[in-house]
Amino acid sequence: MTTPNSLLDVISRHWGFSSLRPMQEAAIQAVLDHRDSLLVLPTGGGKSLCYQAPAVLKQATTVVISPLIALMKDQVDSLRSNGIPAVQLNSALPQVEIREAEQAILRNEVRLVFASPERMATAGFRALLRQMDVRTFAIDEAHCISHWGHDFRPEYRQLNQLKELFPQASVHAFTATATEQVRADIIEQLGLRAPEVLVGDFDRPNLSYSILPRQSLPVQVMECVQRHKGEAGIIYCIRKKDVDAIAGMLQKSGISALPYHAGLDPQTRKSAQDAFIQESCDVIVATVAFGMGIDRSNIRYVLHTGLPKSIEHYQQETGRAGRDGLEAECVLLFSMADVMTWRSIMEKSVDEANVPVDPEFTRAALRHLSDMERYCRPVVCRHKALVEYFGQRYPHENCGACDLCLGMAEPVAEGNLIAKKILSCVFRVQERFGMNHVIDVLRGSDTASVRQWGHENLTTYGLLKEHAKSELRDWILQLLSFEALRQASNDRPVLKLTPFGWEIMKDQKTVTLLKTPGADSGTARPARMDTSSWEGVDRPLFDVLKELRKTLATERGVPPYIVFSDATLRDLARFRPSTPERMHTLYGVGEAKLKDFGRAFIDAIAAHCGTQGLTQDVVDTRPPITPPVAPPKISTNSVQAMDLFRSGANLAEVMRQTGRARSTTVQYLCDWITVDRPKSISRWVSEATYERIAVAAKEQGLTHLKPIFSALNEEVPYDAIRIVVTHLVLQSLPAAAN
């Protein structure tokens, strides 16, 4: 029998994590129960742990199908660094290595086998797996099986035989692609039986989004790169020539940047990618060709210099930032010109090879483009818009991490009046002209078209001449998205008034127009970044440790982020442990890594602290991560659970009655403790255990559970610690004002 506690112990020992993220527990349970499953989580959501941890816990061989050799190698390196035996099998490996790997599998020494779909199709490999009675298959990047996805790979199609070939095995699919159609297709293609379908939260709260008008590209690019000096970033461009120009400009300014696009030879591309992964290059300037297979976790910014052609692309490309969970910035430089460019590409009736394009395909592409364009208008919180696009509800009023919520887009003074002027101009040109012409009339431009139609004589001519073209365009876009205007297309899109537009004109309704962020300054102002994750971090020490990480990584031939993530480095430079025991309490420090790298880091920290006169073994004084600041979310289940706890029911009973997993039930208990503030919780945690936890918490602080867990020799289950810490935190607060 496996209990959630032993799962957490495995995760803490090998990965150095102290809790599971949302959806991970249920996904892991499905693997443990041998129930087919599909897990949809955004990039960086933590999908890999869901098939890795069960393999370790069950001590059983799991086969992972992965589309790219780079991805496989990364995962194998990462698992080995955590003390978990893993191998990869693909065509890039020499025969001897393949044979060695197969021998190791036969000796039942390997927990995770990464294989390409082509390998999976070979009779020899299948026979080997049958001999080993492999019962668990994980399909990574499962959307590759669907031609509805953005990354279809024909070789994935062969996986549809898996269930027939291994009828005893459970198959678990993982993807970050959220559309219903792709999801259904994955289930059908793989022949999953009554699968557990788990769809996680698509929001990435550590990413800040901002969209700025593209004004002076070189200046805006430089500004963003300078803001992130020494940090990793990806700059996406639509065209190869822009890639070359921007990479060249950055290199001239002494920034370690490299270009990447399909026009470069494979060797150059590979060495750029390697340099980026090995951290000898900070910035990659690329077309969308770059990214798949890039697992570097400390990418601190993604800058789009051009418009992605769909929200899916935008989500995927920005998703590469901040995989380590630390703050990262996504900036998009918007220009209507890109919309036009994409549109003309998409509207071509034949493709590059002169093959006719399916009109259905063109329509879908144009729809995606117009969704993306709408997203760029300063109307709805960026986090909210993204999450809702993927069919989820966004629960917050203000995300605190986008240009709009941070109030960088202020209301325009006299916005309603401006709106009325625009609308009336549309009316005066008899709703027969497109955006550019309306803008020309409003600005009083002397163009051939204006003269041809005699529009210089209109009352609205020059009515908004003090405003820039880009501002007017933006406001018209806003009026379109408020549906005060609509675009009817004849040969070219023509602006027309809607009933709502008429109401504004007649003063029955009003609208607020927003200033384009950065419009005044003329340069890019980013969404303000949350820098709290730097709190208490000694930056010079962080840099020292970063160098050490690079050296150790090079010695071992693995990427630096496999040694430790940035989050761990910051913890090391913040708490500055002097002993392995202390170091073991930090995020991401499992047993294998402690053994492997502990000494080197502890020595480096001691040396730096010695010369700089810094204290070591700093106690965590940051406010608790789970403070009862916000009232807990109340759902029907949690109401029922709280009632049960109130009447003294124990955890098992509540689990049974609500049908919830243990961790959720523990969360309900903590919610109830927060709401009701019971004096004693001895019904759920014995007084002796409570006392032990309280003593350890006094020393280790109430911020993180892992140090308490370690201080108690890993003998007390996490759940108990979580419950007691919740209770302790509340006691340290003043009584609730009802």
Beta-carbon count within 10 A of 512 CB: 11
Binding site for ligand ADP (CB under 6 A): 17, 19-21, 24, 41, 43-49, 297, 323-324, 565
Nearer CB in complex with Zn ion: 404/563: 404
Beta-carbon count within 10 A of 33 CB: 11
- Which residue in the set 176, 399, 479, 708 belongs to the binding site for Zn ion (CB under 5 A)? 399
Amino acid in position 686: S
Q: Is the Cβ–Cβ distance between 661 and 690 less than 8 Å?
A: no
399 binds, options ligand ADP, Zn ion, none, Cβ within 5 to 8 A by partner type: Zn ion
From CA 672, how far away is CA 664, in angstroms rounded? 12
- Which residue in the set 169, 321, 381, 504 belongs to the binding site for Zn ion (CB under 5 A)? 381
Does position 89 interact with Zn ion (CB under 5 A)? The reply is no
Nearest-approach distance from CB 22 to ligand ADP, in angstroms = 10
48 binds, options ligand ADP, Zn ion, none, Cβ within 5 to 8 A by partner type: ligand ADP
Nearest-approach distance from CB 323 to Zn ion, in angstroms = 21
Q: Is the dihedral of CA 489, 491, 494, 499 positive or negative?
A: negative
Q: Is the Cβ–Cβ distance between 258 and 228 less than 8 Å?
A: no
Nearer CB in complex with ligand ADP: 293/536: 293
Nearest-approach distance from CB 381 to Zn ion, in angstroms = 3
Please give the DSSP secondary-structure letter assigned to residue 696: H
Q: Is the Cβ–Cβ distance between 234 and 303 less than 8 Å?
A: yes
Nearer CB in complex with ligand ADP: 47/172: 47
Amino acid in position 409: A
Nearer CB in complex with ligand ADP: 47/727: 47
By DSSP bridging, strand 493-497 and strand 485-489 are antiparallel
470 binds, options ligand ADP, Zn ion, none, Cβ within 5 to 8 A by partner type: none
Residue, CB closest to ligand ADP: 46
402 binds, options ligand ADP, Zn ion, none, Cβ within 5 to 8 A by partner type: Zn ion
381 binds, options ligand ADP, Zn ion, none, Cβ within 5 to 8 A by partner type: Zn ion
297 binds, options ligand ADP, Zn ion, none, Cβ within 5 to 8 A by partner type: ligand ADP
Nearest-approach distance from CB 389 to Zn ion, in angstroms = 14
Kindly write down the DSSP assignment for every residue of 483-501, as one continuous string: TSEEEEESSSEEEEE-HHH
Please give the DSSP secondary-structure letter assigned to residue 257: E
Does position 405 interact with Zn ion (CB under 5 A)? The reply is yes
667 binds, options ligand ADP, Zn ion, none, Cβ within 5 to 8 A by partner type: none
The secondary structure of 32-99, three-state, reads HCCCCEEEECCCCCCCHHHHHHHHHHHCCCEEEECCCHHHHHHHHHHHHHCCCCEEEECCCCCHHHHH
Q: Alpha helix (H) ranges present in 135-207?
A: 162-165, 180-190
Distance of CA 559 to the CA centre of its chain: 20
44 binds, options ligand ADP, Zn ion, none, Cβ within 5 to 8 A by partner type: ligand ADP
Q: Is the Cβ–Cβ distance between 66 and 139 less than 8 Å?
A: no
Angle at the Cα of 716 (from 711 to 719), degrees rounded to 5?
A: 115
Nearer CB in complex with ligand ADP: 384/706: 706
Nearer CB in complex with ligand ADP: 49/247: 49
Nearest-approach distance from CB 232 to ligand ADP, in angstroms = 14
Nearest-approach distance from CB 301 to Zn ion, in angstroms = 18
Give the binding range for Zn ion (CB under 5 A) out of 94-102, 381-389, 480-488, 598-606.
Answer: 381-389
Does position 402 interact with Zn ion (CB under 5 A)? The reply is yes
Q: Which residues bind Zn ion (CB under 5 A)?
A: 381, 383, 399, 402, 405
